[in-house]
Structure 1
Amino acid sequence: MKQDIRDLFKDDEASGKQLPENHRQEFYDQLKASRPRRTSKLNTNYLFKVAVMVVLFMGLALIVFTTTDKVIEVIVESPIETQIDALEQQYLANIDEEWQNFISVANDEKLVNRYRDKLDDLDNDYQEVSKQFKADNNNILVIETLVDNLKTRLQLLKDIQEHINLLNQKRTL
């Protein structure tokens, strides 16, 4: 049963027919027509979503860049400044308390004015040293001067209080 395949098609009536010249073009046209049509990749919903994402990104970037400068300015305070402020508040509270005690006990207006002038001078010196500290907060000498000034004011008030107590004791005797 071996046969040559060419022999089978020799007698066939289709073998003698010629294809029309535009057969190839018609075949391609039919092939294109049978394919499903693609929709455009540029969809309006897609464009809208991209535009919204770009606007949101730009808005967030603007917010981040404008608030970053403010955050950096807030964090600049050093731990030394915080400790000095706490120490200053403690001393000033003690000084105020001693001054109020002195005023309540003192009977001599001349004595009160004299000590008020001394405390005002010390306070003015303290303000000058405080400005130096703000300009150069890493200078240990300025910090020591601040603390010494506060100690001097507090000690002055305690000395005043002691002096008044001695005067009151002498009066009662």
Structure 2
Amino acid sequence: MAQEIRALFKDEAHEQETMPKNHQKRFLKKLDAALPVEKPKFNWLKIAASIVVLLGMSFGAYNFFKQDMPVPNNVVTQSVETKTLGDVSPGLKKVEDYYLASINFELSKIEYTPETKELFDGYVVQLEELDKEYKRLSVELTQSGPSELTVNALIDNLKFRLSLLYRLRAQLKELNASETKVGEGLQSI
């Protein structure tokens, strides 16, 4: 049987077809026509993006490695250390700490959602104004010394901030409750 296979291959070797001339060239030409290779184009958008990235990285590196510039002699830097209620008396320190802790606790409990953003932002603006006033009163306390009016104004400021947060929390609860009722009403329909 091994002899027969060898004989078949010998006979086929003589009958083997040959490729026509220029077959490879014609094949490559047809391939190029079917799948043309585009030459890279000069794209201005890529250059502009590279420049933007380069500028951004340069700016970031500048800020990162920037050393503090020396302050000219004619400019006086003034760091005013303001007094707080705790500096006036230990009893007032307890009052101040109580209100500040309560304010921070209330702020941490408030749940911010996109639906309540406008309401929340309005209260934040009011709280920022009260914080500015508190700082101004602290500077006044430092400069003119403790007076009954200044101390009472500082305590009233803290009370007002805390009451604003209580009011905000109550309005958020009402808003969430009304949204829940509306949602339940829509589900029953």
Query: Scaled by the length of structure 2, what TM-score is found?
Result: 0.46
Higher radius of gyration, 1 or 2: 1
* Structure with the higher fraction of residues in helix conformation: 1
